[in-house]
Amino acid sequence: MHPSEQFVNLYIRHEGQVRAYIQRLVFNSSDAEDIMQSTAMLLWKKHEQYKEDQPFLPWAYKFAYNEMRNYYRKNEKTKKLILDPDCIDQLVDTSEKYSSQLDDLKASLDECICKLKNSDRRLIEYRYCEDGKINDLAEKQNTTANALSKALQKIRQNLYLCVRSKRGDA
């Protein structure tokens, strides 16, 4: 197999982990996606520097980390949000330290979300994946924001219990 094909296979195998790493460090999903795209491009440009005897994820995480810092440094709308470099380093260290545990939790959460009723899953997606506002959705659905907030609270509690039971914590 050609080295570039090997690299592509390696990247595909670990793309979800790189994406999760970025999402743990970047609070806005749109910003995280921008950083993921620039990281993927940079990894491809630098793929010839990758040595097969080194672990892929730490190597890729360094690029993602640098892309995140560059993004925040260059992006006007996020300049107010930039954290102290020591704080960012602590987040990175913690993220890397607990990466596999967080990946396991996310996998459990994904399974639990799949078990939700369609309407409950859609509410979760609207609120957390699309950054939707409860007041806007309440208006569209001809209900109250309070009713939707209570529904979300109940869904979150059910997800929490589901994840705990999957992990054997219950």
Q: Distance (Å, rounded) from C-alpha 149 to C-alpha 37?
A: 33
pLDDT band per the 50, 70, 90 thresholds, residue 25 = confident
Say whether pLDDT at 1 is over 70.
Answer: no
Give me the pLDDT at residue 43, please: 94
Q: Mean pLDDT for the chain? A: 84
Check residue 152 and give its pLDDT.
92
Cβ density class 48-61: b for 16+ within 10 Å, e for less:
eebeeeeebbebbb
Task: Output the pLDDT for position 77.
Answer: 60
Tens digit of pLDDT for each residue in 76-135? 665 555 556 676 677 777 767 777 777 788 888 889 999 999 999 988 888 877 777 888
Q: Given this model, what pLDDT does residue 26 score?
A: 80
Spatial distance between the Cα atoms of 126 and 23, rounded to a whole number of angstroms: 17
Could you give the percent of the chain with pLDDT greater than 90?
29
**For residue 144, pLDDT beyond 90:** yes
Domains recognised in the chain with CATH numbers: 3-97 (1.10.1740.10), 101-167 (1.10.10.10)
Residues 6+ apart with CB under 8 A from 108: 162, 163, 166, 167
> Model confidence at 157, in pLDDT bands (50, 70, 90)?
very high
